[in-house]
Structure 1
């Protein structure tokens, strides 16, 4: 349930995408909207947005009347969130070692950031640590069926790693063991007019760092054509699917 993560490389990849991130972040917004529906509308209190990115949902929490702490591993993402006046406070930090006092926030929120942790359990433990008794941790992350189309297409071409591996739904549940929780799984599909569009959608959100390294070399036109041949597609376009896990933990 743990793996080595080069956090500096992850931060740099997301930092490079910060300026144009929101143009490509349809899936991230859809995930966050699903997560918001798991908590009745509330006002007041402090919300930690852990892995805030450009601060889209930090702004949503502000609109709901909350004090918001925006935290991200990437200085570039945090700077963009600050430029957009997304939060009341900004913290550069790692979800696995949150620079906050225990029991200091009412809600800890993390939308599609925990999959970048070396240990999901450590990330969950930290979010719970900083949340007051009676508060909630709301999170979304990716499970192992995510990006199966991209993975199978590349496997037809070579033996290199082109996508990250994600935990199983059972392993995600195990990372929350011993806590009062509700977890939900959903398959989300996106369609693109061509394979470059699908690849650009991942580059545009900064999700390009591969933990195990990747094959070097240019993606030539011939190689791209071969990749497209093996990539699942129909009249709707080229498919990217995600296994989205959303969860609520009740802190005691």
Structure 2
């Protein structure tokens, strides 16, 4: 089991995990956040949110300047201390947002697929869809290597859409509220493996990794850490892991930040 004296690296999803799914509150996690700051334990946020959104959450959580993974792995921000790194400050995997939107609009025009992207609507509409504040919704639209959308067509048409997406070298990821499309190079697992190498190279040590997530799209995150916390979530689809060994994986009884705290309490003796 990991210990606070070990070189720990914590990797956490945001919505439904560190943040309450309905209210976006996180205070139940504040005890561990304080310990991580005190012990200089990195907390890598790994989310489908945009980089602009995550930077704001880093400010609120008191972890500004740390590495993070945005847009489900398509964007990786390096630690502020690593200014000499070749990929500093940010790595983009796969297609840039402008290219993605051209491809999506072409598919819409050619096949008549019905879906609505974040880029198609104004900020007020996003506020209605998400429950975010006006500022948060504006930041959510600042995507760099992926696009979020609502599917508005039949399941049959979705299957055809998924085929066209794959032919273009793109992939679909189902988040808690929306679908996301990005290049196949941009999943959370690939992003985490690459970022872990950056930690080893820049910090000169090996880390014990603990990952926390609540949805099916977090499986690639949780499959690429030493210890995994599956926070109880609201998705109708289960979180299916390649290695669900109870010695490595803990399934929380509580939702959101309460489950986040519960999982860390289970794996790390706070004393």
The TM tier, using the shorter chain, reads: 0.3 to 0.5
TM-score calculated relative to the size of structure 2: 0.33
TM-score by length of 1: 0.35
More strand by share: 1
